[in-house]
Chain A
Amino acid sequence: MNVADSSPAPAMNNLLASNADSQRTLYPYVTGTSVVGIKYKDGILLAADMGGSYGSTLRYKTVERLKSVGKHSIIGASGEISDFQEIMRYLDELILYDNMWDDGNSLGPKEVHNYLTRVMYNRRNKFNPLWNSLVLGGVKNGQKYLGTVNMIGVHYEDDHVATGFGNHLARPILRDEWHENLTFEEGVKLLEKCMRVLLYRDRSAVNKLQIARITQDGVKVFPPYSLKTFWNFNAFQNPTVGAEGSW
């Protein structure tokens, strides 16, 4: 018998999940691309574009991927948009039930991040993941918080975080240029630099982005806007000029 014929893959598939008759997210449908988040002097800044991709088709152009969660937190999501909307239903219920105690306590970003971490890990244990990478930022009692969690439950905190392509393209910039005492203006400028690089090199990024800010004084998600771009580099003009078999 040929060694290549006795591949263990089919047996493995049956062991892990029967793909035919179950309703699981085995691959995403409509997805959002990178989210970038940083700490700055007074709080947290998050940036994400508003594209919703259906495979490689740009299907939706006004998807809000930055949302506030309670009084002290903002969440940014990349990955499956419908799963993110489900997560928002979980979070809104969580915040509502917490409010109903009416005891003057409220969930902070640390608690929300921990909750998300458990939800994501629990769903991966059921082989039914929520297909997202999430960024959670917030300020409570003067403490800044910025963390992330992905679809299999891997999570961490840092001074700056990014999902997906942002890990490749934005974080090297952030490691170079980020510092503790960024002002709001400097922070936005740094995020815009990251988003511009992503716009140029990430094919599913679109030039319509939102920035969200959270400080001690509360959450603000700014209205969407576009970045100035420059496409007139010589190499962009006619990259195939002179190449045989092209026009």
Chain B
Amino acid sequence: MTKQQANWSPYDNNGGTCVAIAGADYCVIAADTRMSTGYNILTRDYSKIIQLADKSVMASSGFQADVRALQKVLAARHLIYQHQHNKQMSCPAMAQLLSNTLYYKRFFPYYAFNVLGGLDSEGKGCVFTYDAVGSYERVGYSSQGSGSTLITPFLDNQLKSPSPLLLPAKDAVTPLSESEAIDLVKTCFASATERDIYTGDKLEIVILNASGLRREYMELRKD
């Protein structure tokens, strides 16, 4: 008998877009809440953002089941860290842990595209951006996921961050104020949702600063 179906695949792409922007004393992490497969919308209200420690927040798109597994591993590892060190993990430490966790599955990767945002030990905003197998870099802003092709050039244009090749190294944090950064994120998603079918329904924005963590929401296109 000839084969009737496509070969089974352990992966799926559930779409979604993530953005993070670091400022001098804040960090903004945002993602839409749509979960899709192919041309189907599975649900309009699935949060892609998780708080991993007091001052680290991760937004992930890609394959939802892998993302959830990754979040569970990181949560468990952070719990162990708290028991061993009696403190919260710093954002740069969490960034390294995330990289190692992704690379651990180098030959059967987590199909997850992450941005990690938070505040470093000096209270400065930081953003780390990843690929699926754990390469990462500290940057001033980043976008990942299905809408990243639309958003990244826009952010490049608006934020003109100093080249990482400059010597002596310049801070990558953006010069925007917190409210300007939030507005910029909203604009990014309002544009991305017009052209990317995997971005929409609702935008969830997490703002981290010295006074703690705050959430904002904005409705997006539902079609």
Contacts and interface: CB of A to CB of B under 8 A. Distances in A.
Contacts of A121: 65, 68-69
A222 to B, nearest CB: 27
Contacts of B68: 117, 121, 153, 155
A157 B64 CA distance: 13
Interface of chain B: mostly helix, strand, loop or mixed:
loop
Interface string A1-37: 0000000000001000000000000110000000000
B129 interface: no
A183 interface: no
Interface string A150-188: 001111111000000001100000000000000000000
A127 B108 CA distance: 11
Given A121-B69, A124-B65, A156 B43 contact: yes
Nearest to A55: B4
A79 interface: no
Interface in A95-122: 117, 121
Contacts of A158: 43, 45
13 contacts: A27-B4, A27-B5, A55-B4, A121-B65, A127-B10, A152-B12, A152-B63, A154-B37, A154-B42, A155-B65, A156-B35, A157-B43, A158-B43
Interface of A: 13, 26-27, 55, 117, 121, 124-125, 127, 129, 152-158, 167-168
Interface of B: 4-5, 7-12, 14, 35, 37, 40, 42-43, 45-46, 63-65, 68-69, 108
